Structure 1
Amino acid sequence: MLDIVYLSAIESSLARVALVLGIALALPFIFDKSKTTHRTAVFAVAALLAGRYLWWRATVTIAPLGLTWDFLASWSLLAIETAAIASSLSSFAILSRIKQRSSEATAKLDWWAPYAPPRVAVLIATYNETLDVLERTIIGAKALNHPAKQILVLDDGRRDWLRDYCAAQGVRYLVRPDNKGSKAGNINHAIATLSRDAQPPDFVAVLDADFVPHRGFLSRSLALFKSRSVGLVQTPQHFFNADPIQHNLGLNRSYPDEQRLFFDHLQPARDAWGIAFCCGTSSVVRWTALRAVGGFPEDSVTEDFMMTLVLRDGGWDTVYLNEPLTEGLAPEGLKEYVTQRARWCLGMMQIARSRVGPFARNNLRLRDRWSIIDAVLYWTTTFPFRLATLIYPLLYWYFNITVVNATVADVISFFGVYYLWILLAMGLVARGLVVPVLNDVSQILGALPITRAAFTGLLKPHGHPFQVTAKGGQRDRIVVQWRLLLPYLVLFALTLGGLLIGIFADRFAFNDAGQGKQVVLFWTLYNMVVLATTILAFVELPRSEVHVADRPEPARLTTPEGVFDVMVEGLTLDTLRVSQLSLPQGTVGTVALDGVGDVRATVIGRNRRGNRLRLQTTEAQKEALILKFYTDGGSPGIAAAKFLPVARDAALRLMR
């Protein structure tokens, strides 16, 4: 009889799941992600299912009130989970509307005509970047199609070789006597210098040292300043290299970088609410607004987000232009990746405790205060919750502490339906950017230092040094990040040990948990998959500079053996890979590349499709290649994931 009741409950739960799956198949044909009503309806259902799930968790799955370990464990997990869901619901509310400004930018191009174009100072702040990183940005900035511009390199490293390079490039070089205020202080020193010029600029553009602007970056961004209330225009960050998660898991060609959800979807949604925020690089600021608020704030290590709030406090608008107008270098190593995100987290906590915090006396609107609270919730709930999901099942296996007392049928009915609807909703508004396991891994990688930074920043917001994200350098060997990896190795070993105890050790007879044991078993198996993938991501694979054209392009190779029409399939600053050719190693000739000219080349190898050649470029040709790689075309990288390519690449990575 009990088996019949159990099977009936399972069937009922699966029916609810089937209903969601049916809706998932039908909704894409009628859903329009540009319509606020459609987006609001989908996320309203998500909110209702979240409430239904939390009510079930609080009334059915937790231990009764009392001074027991079961009570402490189950209620503490529920509290952490509730906070994380509250953060998600806030994000859903933001995502319920969206604004795209491309048509507005096109309509307002050259709004200053027939008068002279506005003067723009392009600031490139640098500290320890190498020449191969900096030259891309400087050459790209010089190629911007806005005529009234000056390029300033702000060198906090005070390097003679960079001063000489800037002189050769004809760009302005600035240093200061100290590094007070870090990046914000560096920019403010440049602003003070510009204010003493005979003709100060009308606008200031900010580029990180590793971000190359497309030719239209200034002209497209400036178009939105026709409205005199606009103080800042932010554009998205795109990356021409794979981030550590993509690269170390072998997903360069099939899985998007971790920032795509934020820049492609969250920022346009925030813009629709009037709360888009500055992200530092790839932004343009009105000079009068900058001077009115006293420059970039120096009381947070994330001066960019704080700059947004300082401008809002002064009555200026910040807007977002969702076009690929710059591309830069993503952190290449896990250590740098985690350091960067921990700094973002710390800076957000500093802002929450600052003069422009959500509870401070200032001129911020209610929606601006909500924006800050939303960001604080994200950093203080998402990462602790990820850690909790890994740790709490261990309490059952090792100490017989019941954390979630639930039947399989109920888990499917309440959690399964809620989780599937979230995947459906995010798939509709941001298709291919929310991938189970991989999304967990992206958050777990830095969960420990980020959680530490979150609560350290809230309790002690001041006195923390600015940590620069290292870029460039040699990445030509396998490196295991043992210091970051060790906690997850321990968790994996404990999870595996707990699983073996639960299966084989008779003395741990936790069968009194009933179906709760099956729930914890599935939870544990999922954690093992996530932890194994996380561990794999900490093994950093060698990198090499690779630029593969969006599509093969024709070229002509001239050698003593004759003239050959070939297809270029791979091109870097010093190598070329061509198909439809088979020449002996050592053959010397010239290859005619579109936009570059005739480049001297030597055959250095063969493969079954053709030859590899070494390029010997002049300085002018090298600059032309940099412009060809970085300043034209659309967005680099992968925009969204697809299941089969991700599965294929993941399988190939496991076989390495």
Structure 2
Amino acid sequence: MIYLTPLQSSLVPILLILGLWLVLPAVIDRERTWQRAVLYGGCILFALRYAWWRGTETLAPVGLTVDFIASGSLFLIELAALVGSMSAFVLMMRTRNRSGEAEANLGWWRDRPAPPKIAVLIATYNEELEVLERTIVGAKALRYTNKEIVVLDDGRRDWLRDFCAQQDVRYLRRPDNKGSKAGNINHALGVLNSDPEPPEFFAVLDADFVPHRGFLSRSLALFHDPSVGLVQTPQHFFNPDPIQHNLGLAKSYPDEQRYFFDHMQPSRDGWGMAICCGTSSICRMEAVRELGGFPTDSVTEDFMLTMALQARGWRTVYLNEALTEGLAPEGLKEYVSQRARWCLGLMQIARSRLGPFTREKIRLRERWSVLDSSLYWLTSFAFRIAALVFPLLYWFFNITVVDAGVPEVISHFGVYYAWVLLTTTLLSPGMIVPIFHDVTQLVGAIPITRAAVTGLLRPKGHPFSVTAKGGDRSRIVVQWGIMRPFLVLWGLTALGLTLGIFFDRFAYYDAGDGKSVVLFWTIYNLIVLTVTIIACVELPRRERHVADAPERTFVQLPDGASVTTWLSELTRTTARLRGLTLPEGARVRIELREVGPVDGYVLRTSRDTTLVQLLPEAEEREALIVRLHAEDNTPGVTRSQPGRVIRDFGLRLSRIGPRR
């Protein structure tokens, strides 16, 4: 008879889960609801088991003591985060793919004398011409014929008015900025509704989002159902977000929003709870007219539009196809402020007439939709902060906030965590990599938590904040304001650990086997904080389309001869050739697929690579924009491979300076 130690016994369930990890990928079908329900149901069961154990066996004795207050506070914060997670687990039990429906209903309007008229609204405030040009040229290249491009300029810029005239697109401005983006769109809808032929539908594009050529026709197909008021499509990005870029993971780790758009939104759609996310959406004019325009009660007018439409019986559906691509925030400060604004907007909706506890006639699932999103913003980020702060109470104040040994932690938390990773890996492969996932949430945790509390206590009176895009990104910038709290936490954590290990503080309070738990917890926090601090150092950027793949091309040399070589990287202004070395300043002509021959000259060479400065004419420049941003492809990294993530991060750490 074999006897196992408590530690060995606690590892048995983990080993069983690892065994399932090897077997289930061959048999699982991600779109079968019953299979998803079994896996996510397991997540809920293990979460409840863990929560019961935490509440009954790991807290300090009940009483008016610092120990009980500290351990109870952490438990309540963690319990709130677990409730949010369990809500998400239920939501993820379903998923829906509407590509087949779109394919079957392409051209449902063919029996009509003309296709429905669509206005493509490009909302802008302070974006540069380089950003706007991409979007306007891409919108003009849409395959759909009966469309009108309308630029809504809340910056009232004469140069943009003149550029729109050159591009033969409609330009609108208003005398004030009341209602921010929602007010800008409402002003445009009022003008369009007074036209001799008002559009039946309108698409909304942010100034930095370029539509793919099939965006309108594919999305419009879902309006064959007369109850559909809005169709939302994903928001994918042709450049890495700040965390991807600063950690050197631009080619190996998905952007932070990929999980939401590729996995969460299809699941929301499976429950009839898909939400409008603003850009990359199409609305039925009749439905929005019935509302009296976009609601202006929240700085996230898009989510609130969904709630208002559903309250009147109009459905929001989701087409999970890459039909647009945008410019992710390039700076960490903009990245964080954008997410804090989203959080604030959700809290405003939660406190509004369309919130989860309103007396309005709103269906239960709409209430759940807002509640689920509010729980995410309110609890997830607060728990990230608490997980860093509470271990310090042990090191400096002799307070054990989790009184448990290693076998118990493995048996309860370890099993729960392993099952969640198994489920996520099977149903949303390549989305979660430990440590890096923590960093993506931790970077903005403090301002997001502040916004959550502010939005709940004081939902009104907050100005709309536009996320800045473009600008000079050629220098290393240290975001000290964002980094400073993490530097302080890193210093306190390292100091506490040092005192505990080398000055006998570790045995000051006899926590038994629990000492190993707090030691592991502290070391993990140091690793996460270190990576977070690195993410706060912004590296220089150059334009790069992350979906590019090397291709063969013809190059006409200065002497008139032509050679075939590899085009390894292409932007609107440069081409990188591999396998060819030319002197600096040499004039060349490159044959670019879907563009034609483009003149240029050699900027610099290194080893077997030549960087060419392109000199495109106006038509060639627009063709380049269409090729780079408007063709049907899926930009960005769709899933990660942990080995490659570790390799790329290792290269980032080994780099003394930024790559050129």
> So what's the TM-score if we normalise by structure 1?
0.98
Long gaps (5+) in structure 2: 656-660
1:350 aligns with 2:336: no
Q: Give the whole-Å Cα distance in 2 for the aligned partners of 1:507 and 1:122.
A: 65
Distance 2:446 2:546 in 1: 36
Whether the 8 Å CA contact 2:553–2:567 is kept in 1: the answer is yes
**CA distances 1:477-514 after superposition (whole Å, capped 9, x unpaired):** 10000011111100000000110011011366424111
Which range is displaced more, 93-102 or 596-605?
596-605
1:395-544 to 2 correspondences below 5 Å: 395-506=393-504, 509-544=507-542
8 Å CA contact 1:555, 1:567 repeated in 2 = yes
What residue is the counterpart of 1:68 in the other structure? 65
Pairing 1:331–2:346 present: no
Q: State the partner residue of 1:369.
A: 367
Aligned match for 2:273, one of 259, 269, 275: 275
Indicate the residue corresponding to 1:233 in structure 2. Answer: 231
Corresponding residue for residue 261 of structure 1? 259
Cross-structure match for 2:245:
247
C-alpha distance in structure 2 between counterparts of 1:416 and 1:617, whole Å: 58
Alignment of 1:105 with 2:102, yes or no, is yes
Match of 2:596 in 1: 597
> Cα deviations across residues 282-335 of structure 1 (Å, max 9, x unaligned)?
000001001001111111000000000000011100000000000000011110
Letter matched to residue 106 of structure 1 = E
1:196 to 194, 197, 207: 194
| Cα distance in 2 between the residues matched to 1:523 and 1:447 | 19
CA contact (8 A) 1:314 1:363 kept: no
How far apart in 2 are the matches of 1:321 and 1:564? 44
Cα separation, 2, equivalents of 1:122 and 1:508: 64
Range with greater deviation from structure 2 (150-159 or 569-578): 569-578
How far 1:594 sits from its partner (Å)?
A: 1.6
Alpha-carbon distance in structure 1 between the residues aligned to 2:531 and 2:578: 36
Q: Is the 8 A contact 2:97 2:319 kept in 1?
A: yes
Shift of 1:611: 1.9
1:137 counterpart letter in structure 2: T
Report the alpha carbon displacement of residue 474 of structure 1 after superposing the two structures with TM: 0.5
**Aligned residue number for residue 84 of structure 1:** 81
Shift of 1:604: 2.3
What letter is aligned with 1:254?
A: S
- Mean CA deviation greater in 197-206 or 498-507: 498-507
Alpha-carbon distance, 1:558 to partner = 1.7
Asked if the contact 2:547–2:636 (Cα under 8 Å) also holds between the matched residues in 1, the reply is no
Report the alpha carbon displacement of residue 570 of structure 1 after superposing the two structures with TM.
Answer: 1.1
The Cα offsets for residues 186-218 of structure 1, whole Å up to 9 and x where unpaired, read as 000000111110010000100000000000000
Matched, 1:121 2:119: yes
How far does residue 27 in structure 1 lie from its aligned partner after superposition? 1.4
Residue of structure 2 equivalent to 1:645: 644
Q: Which amino acid aligns with 2:618?
A: E
Name the CA distance, whole Å, in 2 between partners of 1:406 and 1:134.
Answer: 57
Q: Is the 8 A contact 1:238 1:327 kept in 2?
A: yes
CA contact (8 A) 1:383 1:443 kept: yes
Structure 2 residue identity aligned to 1:91: A
**The residue matched to 1:470 in structure 2 has which SS?**
coil
Quickly say closer, same or farther: Cα 1:148–1:53, change in 2 above 3 A: same
Contact 2:406-2:514 within 8 A present in 1 as well: yes
Letter aligned with residue 280 of structure 2:
S
Write the distance in 2 (CA, Å) between the matches of 1:134 and 1:31.
Answer: 44
Q: Secondary structure at the match of 2:510?
A: helix
- 2 CA distance for matches of 1:280 and 1:148? 22
Checking the alignment, whether the CA contact within 8 Å between 2:251 and 2:546 is kept in structure 1 is: no
- Matching residue's letter, 1:233: V
Aligned equivalent of 2:658: none
RMSD: 1.2
Please state whether the residue corresponding to 1:359 is helix, strand or coil. coil
* Post-superposition offset of 1:596: 1.3
Give the structure 1 partner of residue 31 of structure 2.
34
- Please say if residues 549 and 569 of structure 2, whose CA atoms lie closer than 8 Å, have aligned partners that are also in contact: no
The alignment partner of 1:535 has SS state of helix
Structure 1 residue ranges without an equivalent (≥5): none
Query: Separation in 1 of the partners of 2:558 and 2:154?
Result: 50
Aligned partners of 1:106, 1:509: CA distance in 2, in Å?
A: 67
Query: Are residues 548 and 454 of structure 1, via their aligned partners in 2, closer, same or farther at CA, if it must alter by over 3 Å?
Result: closer
Contact 1:549 1:571 in 2 (8 A): no
1:212-245: CA deviations, max 9, x gaps? 0000000000000000000000000000000011
Change (3 A) 1:560 1:395: closer
8 Å contact from structure 2 (residues 81, 380) kept in 1:
yes
Q: Counterpart of 1:24?
A: 21
1-structure distance, mates of 2:353, 2:256: 31
Partner of 2:568: 569
8 Å CA contact retained: 1:137, 1:210: yes
- Check conservation: 2:546, 2:635, Cα contact below 8 A: no
Q: Secondary structure at the match of 2:601?
A: strand
- Report the 3-state secondary structure (helix = DSSP H, G, I; strand = E; otherwise coil) of the residue aligned with 1:567: strand
Q: Give the whole-Å Cα distance in 2 for the aligned partners of 1:471 and 1:354.
A: 30
Partner of 1:559: 557
Contact 1:548 1:569 in 2 (8 A): no
2:148 is aligned with 1:150? yes
Report the CA distance shift for 1:549/1:451 in structure 2 as closer, same or farther (over 3 A).
Answer: closer
How many pairs align? Answer: 652
How many angstroms apart in 2 are the aligned matches of 1:508 and 1:96? 44
Q: Per the alignment, in what secondary structure is the counterpart of residue 450 of structure 1? A: helix
> Partner of 2:93 in structure 1?
96
Distance 1:531 1:278 in 2: 34
Residue deviations 1:435-484, cap 9 Å, x none?
A: 11011111110111100100110011000111110000010010000011
Does the 8 Å contact 2:58/2:403 carry over to 1? yes
Distance in 2 of aligned mates of 1:582 and 1:216? 39
- Corresponding residue SS for 2:604: strand
Q: Is the 8 A contact 1:217 1:325 kept in 2?
A: yes
SS in 2 for 1:513: coil
Distance in 1, Cα, partners of 2:50 & 2:106: 50
CA distance in 1, matches of 2:595, 2:356: 53
Name the SS for the 1:568 alignment partner.
Answer: strand
* Cα distance in 2 for residues equivalent to 1:45 and 1:598: 58
Q: Is residue 310 of structure 1 aligned with residue 300 of structure 2?
A: no
CA distance in structure 1 between the partners assigned to 2:116 and 2:523 by the alignment: 60
CA distance in 2, matches of 1:645, 1:495: 29
More displaced stretch, 110-119 vs 549-558: 549-558
SS of alignment partner, residue 512 of structure 1: coil
Q: Matched residue of 1:489: which SS?
A: helix
Identity in percent: 60
Amino acid at match of 1:102: S
